[in-house]
Structure 1
Amino acid sequence: MAAVEREVGMNGLEKVVLRDGASACSAEVYLYGAHVTSWKNDKGEELLFLSNKALFDPPKPIRGGIPICFPQFSNLGSLPSHGFARNRIWALDTDPQLLPSPTSTAPFVDFIFKPSHDDFKTFPHSFEYRLRVQLGPGAILTLTSRIRNTNSDGKPFTFTFAYHTYFSVSDISEVRVEGLETLDYLDNLQERSRFTEQGDAITFEGELDRIYLEAPRKIAILDHEKNRTFVVIKDGLPDAVVWNPWDKKAKAMSDFGDEEYKHMVCVEAAAIEDPVTLKPSEEWTGRLQLSLVPNTHVGGSLDIPNAL
């Protein structure tokens, strides 16, 4: 049977563990940041990267897993870098208003986040952010975010967003990211200058930090050494960020091992170039689905089972 259990995690922080009763698949989500820190397949292999130096010490963010960047991605505005949702304790949502599929027995958990008085000082808007994390058959992990403007003063608000997903890879030099060919991107290493991707795939030979614009719904991350491919499917999230800090920046981060850049890559579903604007009572939905398939199953159209 599928299981959803509340447990005590690192540094005494509470987490929820999802387990698929038919296999060894699992996922864990901390209430701190509604942060997914683990996602394992039916072999028990960890699919997300979490730094050995990751801090579970609020209000410091957790390095790795799937941080949620809201209401700001990076430093593209007046808020702290990557916003504040990842630095807050979320609550379990007892009234999620999102019904599960009547035919699904997949375990899931619902979270809710509402701004505090201190949050109003930097982001003077009322909102409800609901998040569902679900572990489906075949270790398909789905995150569904719903953000509603609950302002009573009639004012809209605007935000940028990203699921800052850290994937675990065998060797970054053996990794290819496919699906972003010919797209325009903003290069964060060159003051967000705009360029057009020229390669037939993204490969890594040094630090890379790009925002790909109007990215397709499906993106593939091929890990040749492990002979497996992550498939990213996104809805409501037009952009995609690809990042690896490489050696120099890795050594400059206190919560990141000097050599850990070799075993991770961030491919993030995002809404950045055109910020989302919500009028009062309006709601936005952004969905991310992650799955894993053998490299031999991936073709040019990335036709895989789609649970969205």
Structure 2
Amino acid sequence: MSSGAREREKVFVERCKGANGLDKVVLREVRGSSAEVYLYGGQVTSWKNEYGEELLFVSSKATFKSPKAIRGGIPICFPQFGSHGSLEQHGFARNRFWSIDHDPPPFPTNSGNKAFIDLILKPSEEDSKIWSHRYEFRLRVTLGPGGDLMLTSRIRNTNTDGKSFTFTFAYNTYLFVTDISEVRVEGLETLDYLDNLKGRERFTEQGDAITFESEVSVCPYPDALYF
């Protein structure tokens, strides 16, 4: 069988059941990489390279049961990141059931990517009681041919009165790390952050790379987005 024929037979996107019978979507690429996305939370819970090595961490205490958020993977924090607002910590998007988006707008993506899924979250009556704004949150999860994982979010204001709203947002990623001493985080120089281990005191990052020698718990200084 030719490589082209094998690729045509490959299932790039498969919808199936996951833990506790929750719906999930499995993305696969021909070189062997994969990703799993639960409709509960719109959450990526697994990302494996072509050697089958897991790149994300999910806690053994994760319950995969509503209303608890899934502990690990890539939780979607919206419309609040952290606990500095009026909502529950990290908002409610991570413990809501998302739907598959069958009519997504055009996304800027590589036409060679075949392993992707479009999800959408809209406010429920329950949500409107705690956050009165109307919105559409569209999420595309793409697994590239080289095994790279990309999440693209689009949030649209659908308030009928045209009123703007503010929110904070994050992909709260849990990476699987075998040796923390080998980890470097670059690109944060000059950015402000709140140190949770020092009473949420505000600091400005000075180094060109962050390494880890002890417990760290920080979050970006919250700049609200306006739509």
Q: Same fold judged by TM-score > 0.5?
A: yes
The correspondence for 1:35, drawn from 37, 43, 56, is 43
Residue 104 of structure 1, CA deviation: 1.6
Aligned to 1:153: 161
Aligned to 1:276: 225
Q: Quote the sequence identity (%).
A: 64
**Aligned-partner Cα distance in 1 for 2:36–2:165:** 31
Residue 51 of structure 1, CA deviation: 1.2
Aligned to 2:215: 207
**Aligned-partner Cα distance in 2 for 1:65–1:88:** 16
Structure 1 residues 183 and 156, CA, compared in 2 at 3 Å: closer, same or farther? Answer: closer
Aligned to 2:14: 5
**Aligned-partner Cα distance in 1 for 2:110–2:52:** 28
Residue 153 of structure 1, CA deviation: 2.0
For each residue in 1:198-224, what CA deviation from the matched residue of structure 2 results, as whole angstroms up to 9, or x when unmatched? 445322232211234xxxxxxxxxxxx
Unaligned runs of 5+ in 2: 1-6
Give the total of aligned pairs: 218
Aligned to 2:202: 194
Q: Give the number of the structure whose residues are more often strand, by fraction.
A: 1
Residue 103 of structure 1, CA deviation: 3.3
1:68 paired with 2:68, answer: no
Aligned to 1:20: 29
**Aligned-partner Cα distance in 2 for 1:172–1:101:** 33
Amino acid at match of 1:158: T
Aligned to 1:286: none
Aligned to 1:255: none
Unaligned runs of 5+ in 1: 213-271, 279-308
User: Which TM-score applies when normalising by structure 1?
Assistant: 0.67
Paired residue secondary structure (1:167): coil
Paired residue secondary structure (2:32): coil
For each residue in 1:118-171, what CA deviation from the matched residue of structure 2 results, as whole angstroms up to 9, or x when unmatched? 100110011111100000121111101100000012211110000001111112
Aligned to 1:93: 101
Equivalent residues of 2:113, 2:143 under 8 A apart: no
Kindly report the root-mean-square deviation, in angstroms, between the aligned alpha carbons of the 2 structures.
1.7
**Aligned-partner Cα distance in 1 for 2:147–2:110:** 19
Paired residue secondary structure (2:53): coil
**Aligned-partner Cα distance in 2 for 1:101–1:208:** 35
Equivalent residues in 2 for 1:52-67, closer than 5 Å: 52-67=60-75
The correspondence for 1:114, drawn from 119, 122, 125, is 122
Structure 1 residues 17 and 198, CA, compared in 2 at 3 Å: closer, same or farther? Answer: same
Residue 100 of structure 1, CA deviation: 6.7
Paired residue secondary structure (1:138): coil
For each residue in 1:232-261, what CA deviation from the matched residue of structure 2 results, as whole angstroms up to 9, or x when unmatched? xxxxxxxxxxxxxxxxxxxxxxxxxxxxxx
Aligned to 1:126: 134
Amino acid at match of 1:110: D
**Aligned-partner Cα distance in 2 for 1:143–1:49:** 17
Amino acid at match of 1:277: Y
The correspondence for 2:86, drawn from 75, 78, 86, is 78
The correspondence for 2:57, drawn from 32, 49, 55, is 49
**Aligned-partner Cα distance in 2 for 1:7–1:275:** 37
For each residue in 1:52-109, what CA deviation from the matched residue of structure 2 results, as whole angstroms up to 9, or x when unmatched? 2211011101111000000000111100000000000000001111257573243110
Paired residue secondary structure (2:168): strand
Paired residue secondary structure (2:65): coil
Equivalent residues of 2:36, 2:47 under 8 A apart: yes
Q: Is 189-198 or 157-166 further displaced after alignment?
A: 189-198
**Aligned-partner Cα distance in 1 for 2:95–2:111:** 35
User: Which TM-score applies when normalising by structure 2?
Assistant: 0.90
**Aligned-partner Cα distance in 1 for 2:203–2:133:** 35
Q: Is 147-156 or 203-212 further displaced after alignment?
A: 203-212
Amino acid at match of 2:19: M
